[in-house]
């Protein structure tokens, strides 16, 4: 496998006890972020019926979004053009200012979603790599479906443990946008956490743990199969 993967999506949800989101507070928050390098957004949308949002759109489908729901804050980078560390700085700044603006007592749960793609070294067709090389599913076995398969992959769910408190959902499949690449999505769910104003760094630590799982565990699982001689 190629030594560097290509991230395409970063996001995190930060949950808090439900309350009514007030537009004047958001307007002030939007201005504060506009004065903060690396955490500003081009536009804001407070019109109903959708949730209030800050957003920026750049080349192609690349966009940055912050959503403010009654029970959570959502920070998203779609088709990313920034490194993960820049996203982490943005998340921390948005979380800190939101925490102060709405006088929150704690974030009580967090989700993390990271999506990336890996380029294969010895295989040109990622679909065949997943179905045949990893899963051992030949064309003859798959003929039972009576239809061609456009995307093939596998899904795992890892429950929390004393050492790893987050539940992880892992999806590995051929990338629908490029036949030469594998798509990897990892979602982490952390329930019943207590992240207060003095422990906001835990938010980015949790995101880093998901990235480390991709770098270490997911890559080490996939790499041995990316050889024509692999069984």
For residue range 154-200, list pLDDT tens digits in order: 999 999 998 899 999 999 999 999 989 999 999 999 998 999 999 99
Question: Which residue is listed with tokens 């990316």?
Answer: 226
Question: Which residue is listed with tokens 């036949």?
Answer: 179
The confidence score (pLDDT) of residue 229 equals: 62
pLDDT of residue 231 exceeding 60: no
135: closest CA among 173, 181, 179, 185? Answer: 173
Q: From CA 104, how far away is CA 19, in angstroms rounded?
A: 10
The confidence score (pLDDT) of residue 48 equals: 75
DSSP reduced 3-state for 73: strand
**Summary mean pLDDT of the chain:** 93
For residue range 38-78, list pLDDT tens digits in order: 899 999 999 878 899 999 998 889 999 999 999 999 999 99
Percent of the chain with pLDDT over 70: 98
The confidence score (pLDDT) of residue 73 equals: 97
DSSP reduced 3-state for 53: strand
Q: From CA 59, how far away is CA 80, in angstroms rounded?
A: 10
- CB 142 within 8 Å of CB 132: no
């Amino acid at each position: 496998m190629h030594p560097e993967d290509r991230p395409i999506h970063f996001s995190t949800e930060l949950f808090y006890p439900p309350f009514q989101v007030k537009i004047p507070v958001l307007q002030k928050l939007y201005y504060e972020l506009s004065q903060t390098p690396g955490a500003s957004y081009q536009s804001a949308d407070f019109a109903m019926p959708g949730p209030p949002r800050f957003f920026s759109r750049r080349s192609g489908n690349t966009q940055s979004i912050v959503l403010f729901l009654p029970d959570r804050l959502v920070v998203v980078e779609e088709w990313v053009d920034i490194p993960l560390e820049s996203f982490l700085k943005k998340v921390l700044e948005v979380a800190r200012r939101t925490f102060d603006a709405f006088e929150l007592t704690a974030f009580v749960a967090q989700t993390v979603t990271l999506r990336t793609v890996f380029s294969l070294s010895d295989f040109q067709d990622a679909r065949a790599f997943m179905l045949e090389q990893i899963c051992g599913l030949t064309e003859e076995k798959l003929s039972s479906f009576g239809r061609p398969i456009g995307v093939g992959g596998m899904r795992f769910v890892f429950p929390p443990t004393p050492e790893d408190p987050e539940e992880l959902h892992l999806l590995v499949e051929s990338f629908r946008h490029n036949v030469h690449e594998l798509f990897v999505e990892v979602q982490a769910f952390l329930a019943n956490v207590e992240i207060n104003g003095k422990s906001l760094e835990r938010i980015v630590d949790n995101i880093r743990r998901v990235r480390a799982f991709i770098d270490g565990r997911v890559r080490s699982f996939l790499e041995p199969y990316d050889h024509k001689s692999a069984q």
